[in-house]
Structure formats: C-alpha cells, structure tokens
Structure 1
Amino acid sequence: MSCPVHHSAGSGATETIVLDPLVGDLAGEGRALLAAGPIARVELPGGVPALAVTHHAEARRLLNDPRLVKDVRAWGAWQRGEISQDWPLIGLAAPPRSMLTVDGAEHRRLRAKTAQALTPRRVQLLRPGIERITAKLLDGLSAQPAGRPVDLKALFAYPLPMAVVSELMGIDPADQPKLRELYDEFFNTQTPPARVPAMLEELHDIFARTVAGKRARPGDDLTSALIGADEGGEPLTDDEVTNTLQLMVTAGHETTIALINNAVRGLLANPDQKARVRGGEIPWETVVEETLRWSSPTSHVLIRFATEDIPVGDQVIPKGEGLITSYVAIGWDEAQHGPDAERFDITRPTPIRHMSFGHGPHVCPGAPLSRLEGAVALPALFERFPDLTLAVPDGELRHRPNVTQNDLYELPVLLHGPTA
C-alpha cells in the first residue's frame, strides 16, 4: 500500500503514540494514552496519523458533537488521496455506507429501521435460544479429555455469539466457518494489503446472498424484518439491508467474545468476587458491566472526522482531522471511576457508568443482546465448571494483532482445576 504522509495533527499534543499493530502491551498503551489525553496524537498501523480522545468526560461530549461526523469524505487525508483502498483498516475506517457511516437525517432513518426490527421484545425472545446454544457448547466442553487444557475462546466464547447473531440475522450455518476465516482477516493488522479488497468483497457477497435469499423467502429473522421495516421513511434498499446486516454481524459477535473472555479472566483473578457472585450476593449483570468498563471489548473505535476546528480545553481538533475513541484508556479514567480504575471490582460502591458500547447517536444498537448473552453464558459456565482455572498465568495470554478489538489468540483453561 502507499502510506499516507505524516503531518502534525495540530491539537496541541506533542508526543505521538504509535498504536502497536501487534498489540504487545494493551494495558501499557492504555496508560500512555490516558496520560497524554484528553486528546492524544496517535499513529495507526500503516503510518496513518490521527487524534484519540482518551478521557471519559471529553469522550462523552465529543460523541454527541455534531461537528464530528462519520462520513469519510470529511477526512482531510481521504480528500488528499493519502488513504489507499488496500490499507488493512479500510473496512473499519471507511466501511460500506450504513447507519455506522452516516449522520443526521440519513442516520436517523437507518437507525429507525433497525430499532423497528431489533426490538427489546425480539432480544428477550432470544433468551431460550441463547440458553440452548450455551448448554450445547458446555456439553461439548464436558466431553473434552479430563485434565487437559482447553481453549475456552475457541470452544465457547467465539461460537456462542456467532451462533446467536447468525440465528438472529438468518445467516446460513454453512457460512459460519467462512465468516470466521474472513473476520480473522478483517480485524488483523497483519493481513497482506493485496488481500484486503478481495476479503471485503467476499464478506459482502455472503451478506448480499443472504439478503437476496430472505427477500425471496422471508423468515422469522432480523434480516427479513429489516427488509419489511416500514417506519422512518422509504424502505431499505437491498444494499442498505446488506450493509446493516454486515454491521450487525460484525459488531454482534466480536464484542461478546471479548466480554466472555475478560469476565472469566477478571473472576478467576479475584476468587473472593467469584464466590460472592456465585453465591447470589452480587448479580451477574454487575459482572457484565464491570467487565465492559475494566477491559472494554473495543480497544479503539475508528473514526470520526471534524467538519470544523473543535476546541477541547486548551487543545484543538482541526477541521478534517480523524478522531478515534480509545475505550482502553477511557475505562481506566480515574476522574470517572476512582483511583482504583485499573482494578476489576464488582463490589464498587458507585454505579458502573462506562461507554464501552459508545455514546450519543451512534451508540451500539446491539448492546442489549451482548449484555444478555453475557448474563446467560457466564453463570452457566461457572455452574457447570465451578473449579475452572486458567491453564497459564494471565500475563502469558496474547492479544491478536488487532488495534480495534480486545481480542485474545486463545484462552487456555482447566475445566476442573489443576490435578493433584
């Protein structure tokens, strides 16, 4: 690929924090961003310069600021031709037009269609299916050879949300293995640039084929509901349904994988807290919320663009600049969460107010589903395997090369604790 030209972000920040494409030290990166904030100058993989908001209060304001838009055409680097189509993060910075990438009336129209289809009642009706899928996966874990480490991500944390979101959206189960392969490439900063356009086309083709099938043979699924949604203006076109479907599947499984993985890590590192939640003293919903705050499923969200100069304290986000939201830092902001913000603690005396699903007009519409999956999966997992332990020290767990998702390669565990 042709890398963009480096230039000063003009924010008043002096140090550029290079986001590690291999994610060798996510916690250390979050601390550095927090210290450099509230607006930090960063470099994305491929040498792409941007700014990052890293403090809770400023992020809350900026995510509601109409001067920051999702339309990539407002990005100065894009206008100057500095961002190539084979940039590994192009699918996240400039994805197909959907409610994620538009603003104003167009965003409200697309969001209204999704809200009409993804109602709270539809989400709650998924609970029996989530319980069924969870039980099946736990049966599979129970059948693993005793005493051997198993990868909880591969056998539980990944297949659960993928199966749930596929069932919700009406995705053919036969497409799930290919989707996993493509999403591994989609989020990976090490995907060869020459592979990026073909990978994006293959993803689009799966979802376009799904939409065509549902238009011909509607079912009791969200894709069919999106096709038939009649509120908020004109019906969605096939392209709009396809892009919305792709957005929902992309966001709908990745966040829940990390939520389950990180909740397990937090509880296993704090056995006293695990005992209190398993004893019913603290609800599992609190575990979900503290996990989302402490180790956000999304490390950095790409990318909003300033349509005019935006003052932030004594700094300025210049017109045309790209701004990412660094949830890895925001969740540890002591001004919001107290001096022990880095600690996993489900006994916090104050309400856990985080923004890990976003804030403002673009808040994640799938957040209730992810929360529900966590609240079903986690108690079932620890009920089946109360002596579950990590098979390696937590410090040896490795992050995948993914600057946007808090994603582990694997989560090796012993289901019944260490053998004597």
Structure 2
Amino acid sequence: MDDDSLFVIDPAGTDIHGEAARLRARGPVTRVLLPGGLEAWSVTGYHAARQILADERFSKNAREHWPAYVQGDLAPDFPLIAWARMDNMSTNEGEQHNRQRKLVAGAFSPQRIAALRPRVERIVAHALDELAEYAAKQPGEPVDLKAQYAHQVATRVIGELLGVPEGDPDGILGLAGYVEPDPQKARADFLAMQGKISALVVEKRREPGEDLISDLIAASAPSGGCPVAGVHAGSDTGSDTGSDAAPDADAELVGLAQLMFNTGAEPARNLIVNAVLALLVQPGQRALAASGEVDWEDVVEETLRADAPVANLPFRFATEDVEVAGVTISRGDPVVVGYAATGRDPELHGADAGEFDALRADKRHVAFGHGVHRCVGPALTRMEVRIAVEALFARFPDLRLAVEPDELAGQGTFIMNGRRTLPIHL
C-alpha cells in the first residue's frame, strides 16, 4: 500500500478527538502513517482495542518482534525510536514482566492506597493554598491551573509514594512526565532524572522508609529471592539509555522507579485538567457534581472515557498474522492503540459517545489499558484526581476559564491527550 492511501497522523496532536473520528470512519482498525514515515495500524474501536490488548500474539517488545528495528532499518533520526528502545516493565514480556510487575504491585494494594489517602488530602490542601497565594500576587491575571495546581498535585503524590524527601530538594519531580518535543532536551532530562533517582536509591539503601523505592530495594535483596541486575534502566519518556545507563546492580530498580514517576505524573495531571475543563465548559454537569446529584467518582470516570489522558501509545507488534475487526495485521507490523479514541466509540456508547455526561450509565473505557500490561495504579489515580477536582471546586466555587475553549492548545504531541495550559480565574 503506497503512502498516498494512508491516513497521515498529525505528530503535534492538534485535534486529538477530531482526528480519531476521521480514523474511525475508516474502520476500527486502519492503516496510518506515523511521524518518521512509519506505516502502522491505528486502533480506534473499543472492542478491537480490547482484543489486541489482551492477545498474547501482540508484544510490546520491539527488540524481539519488530523486524525493522532488529534489522537496523530505521533512520538514525527516526522520531519514535525511543519507544522501541525502552527496556522496562512496560515493554518486557512473560516471566520477566511478571516478576517486575510483582515487585511494584504491592505498593498499589487497596490497603496501601487507603493508607495514602490522608497524605493525598494534605498534598491537595497545600497545593490549593499555594494556588490561592500565587493568584493573590497577580490580582486580575489568569492562572495556569495545569502548572500551578495539577502538576503540583500529580508529582507530589507520586513522589510521596516513591519516597521523595519533602520539598524535593534534588528536583526529581520537576522532571517527571512524558512530553518534551525536543529529542536532545528529552534525553538530557531523562539522564538527569535517572541520575537523581540513582542517588535516591543509594540514600534509601542507607536509610529505608515506608515507600515504594524502599520496598523495591527490600524485595530485590538476595534474601528476597528476586535479584535485580543485568538489564538496562528504561523509561516511558522514550529516551534510550545506551552507555549512560545506571550501574547494572541497580539498573532494573532505577528503571522501575523512573517508569513509576513518569506514568504516575503525566496522565494524572492531564486527567485533573481534562476533568476540570469538562465541568468549566458544561455548567449543568458542574452543578450536578456540586449538588451531589452526581458523585465525583462519576466525573472522574466519565473523563477517563470521554477525554482519556493518553491519546495514542506506541507500540505493539504482531508476533504472527492476526485478524482483528475483519483486517489482517501481519507479523511484525507495529500497532498503535488510540486510548482516547476507544472511549468515544459510538458502537459502544451510541451517537452521543463524544459528549461528556457524568450521568451516563455505561462508562466503559480502556484508559488504563487492558490485559497483562494494564496500568498498575488506577486506584491511586482515581483517588487523587477525585480529591483534587472536588476540593478545587469546593475551595473556588467561582472558578472560570480565562479564555475561550477553542483557544486552548494541545500538548504538541499525538501521544498524550492534554492541554498545554489551562488559564483560569479563581
């Protein structure tokens, strides 16, 4: 199939939902041209996505299942190369993936999440105080809710879970996230963060605490029966580590911690922003939530469905020819699942699938993934976003947008579904 017949994906993600609708019109699974001229399959249908995400014949390991990568056929400047080079829990398969997942799963048990709730509430309360103080210093001027609130809450919560010292003296949290359009800057940030996490691991070995990194250290000790060594640290920021990786003895542990920082920060702050925006542009929905007619959990869940924080996530690779939704995905073909698109699939949610309605009975989505690679921390994300959004509107009942909704710019990437800024007046 020549390039002229392919749907060309906008690398800047200028219109995430509009593009998803145009893709869906071609079918639930269709051929696309990704940045760098890569032909791939895009999945926008809910049922097709569930099938692929749960099918062991689709692997996330490019090092074994993507012929173009294995054979060195990709250009040196291929813009998505880092997503192939990742070597961590998010791309490993089989026994190695299961072992790594088991290492971190305990941190997200119902008991641990419940124990975190008072600390999340304190983080949110402190962030609200800071937001009010910031706004007071520039009366009448708009405030960027993403930078001044959503970012603070999301990074501090994941920092609390992993054991970042109070005040973040080493500046780890400022580097947590996915989106950095400049590849050189992204790599520099990745290596800087990796170094800071390595130093934190050393400190936690010296003085362990009640946090995930300390738990990982204990679980990976020889007496724990789960030695950690011999793999490269990686990150969903998508930067390769090469010879700059952390020492092998701590490489897997550092990679897991870095993965948790990034997957815990960017989606959560996007979800906070997307939920707030949905209520600001729909006063009726806001009134339902404020009055208690709609639970704030329903607001969060409907945001996950209608405006998922991750738009398109590279990659999965067919390990053999597989038929999905009437098309055959050939062995070695790369696949991108449109997480934001699948929640708006009219075949599942009807003609109004693109509308935000917290009263909607069926809020099914795959915003947290599905199958063995599903997100390990949805309970924490749901809890922190609910607390953050509910407390925000309670503290600032007159909160309003400072610009028209169509003036809000995206993040500059087709991978994440968020806004660059969210200017508001308190």
Q: What TM-score does the superposition give when structure 2 sets the normalisation length? A: 0.88
Q: Residue 171 of structure 1 aligns with which residue?
A: 164
One-letter amino acid of the counterpart of residue 332, structure 1: R
Q: Residue 180 of structure 1 aligns with which residue?
A: 174
CA distance in 2, matches of 1:187, 1:82: 26
CA deviation after TM superposition for structure 1 residue 413, in Å: 0.6
Give the one of 351, 361, 365 matched to 1:354.
Answer: 365
Give the one of 36, 53, 68 matched to 1:77.
Answer: 68
Q: Residue 323 of structure 2 aligns with which residue?
A: 311
Q: Residue 120 of structure 1 aligns with which residue?
A: 110
CA distance in 1, matches of 2:7, 2:169: 39
Q: Deviations over 1:300-332 (max 9, x none)?
A: 011111111111133111111111111121111
CA deviation after TM superposition for structure 1 residue 154, in Å: 0.9
State yes or no: 1:57 paired with 2:50.
Answer: no
Q: Superposed, which structure 2 residues align to 1:180-329 within 5 Å?
A: 180-181=174-175, 183=177, 186-188=178-180, 190-191=181-182, 193-229=183-219, 234-237=226-229, 238-329=250-341
Contact 1:162-1:176 at 8 Å conserved across structures? no
Q: Percent identity between the aligned chains?
A: 41
One-letter amino acid of the counterpart of residue 151, structure 2: Y
CA deviation after TM superposition for structure 1 residue 109, in Å: 1.3
CA deviation after TM superposition for structure 1 residue 52, in Å: 1.4
State yes or no: 1:19 paired with 2:19.
Answer: no
Q: Residue 237 of structure 2 aligns with which residue?
A: none
Q: Which moved more, 1:81-90 or 1:364-373?
A: 81-90
Give the one of 383, 397, 402 matched to 1:391.
Answer: 402
CA distance in 2, matches of 1:43, 1:70: 19
One-letter amino acid of the counterpart of residue 413, structure 1: I
Q: Residue 94 of structure 1 aligns with which residue?
A: 85
Q: Deviations over 1:207-228 (max 9, x none)?
A: 2222222122211111111121
Contact 1:33-1:329 at 8 Å conserved across structures? no
Q: How large is the Cα RMSD of the aligned pairs?
A: 2.2
Distance 1:15 1:126, change over 3 A: farther
CA deviation after TM superposition for structure 1 residue 86, in Å: 5.2
CA distance in 2, matches of 1:94, 1:396: 36
CA distance in 2, matches of 1:303, 1:152: 31
SS in 2 for 1:126: helix
Q: Which moved more, 1:231-240 or 1:28-37?
A: 231-240
Contact 1:34-1:330 at 8 Å conserved across structures? no
SS in 1 for 2:25: helix
One-letter amino acid of the counterpart of residue 14, structure 2: G
CA distance in 2, matches of 1:378, 1:197: 33
Q: What TM-score does the superposition give when structure 1 sets the normalisation length? A: 0.89
Q: Deviations over 1:62-95 (max 9, x none)?
A: 1110110111121122023133565443333432
CA distance in 2, matches of 1:86, 1:211: 33
Contact 2:158-2:261 at 8 Å conserved across structures? yes
CA distance in 2, matches of 1:379, 1:256: 15
Contact 1:89-1:187 at 8 Å conserved across structures? no
Contact 1:86-1:196 at 8 Å conserved across structures? no
Give the one of 125, 129, 140 matched to 1:135.
Answer: 125
CA distance in 1, matches of 2:144, 2:325: 46
Distance 1:403 1:61, change over 3 A: same
Count of matched residue positions in the alignment of Structure 1 and Structure 2: 399
Q: Residue 368 of structure 1 aligns with which residue?
A: 379
Moved over 6 A (4+): none
Q: Which moved more, 1:398-407 or 1:81-90?
A: 81-90
Give the one of 123, 146, 149 matched to 2:142.
Answer: 149
One-letter amino acid of the counterpart of residue 321, structure 1: D
CA distance in 2, matches of 1:265, 1:195: 29
CA distance in 2, matches of 1:16, 1:336: 26
Contact 2:61-2:84 at 8 Å conserved across structures? no
One-letter amino acid of the counterpart of residue 294, structure 2: I
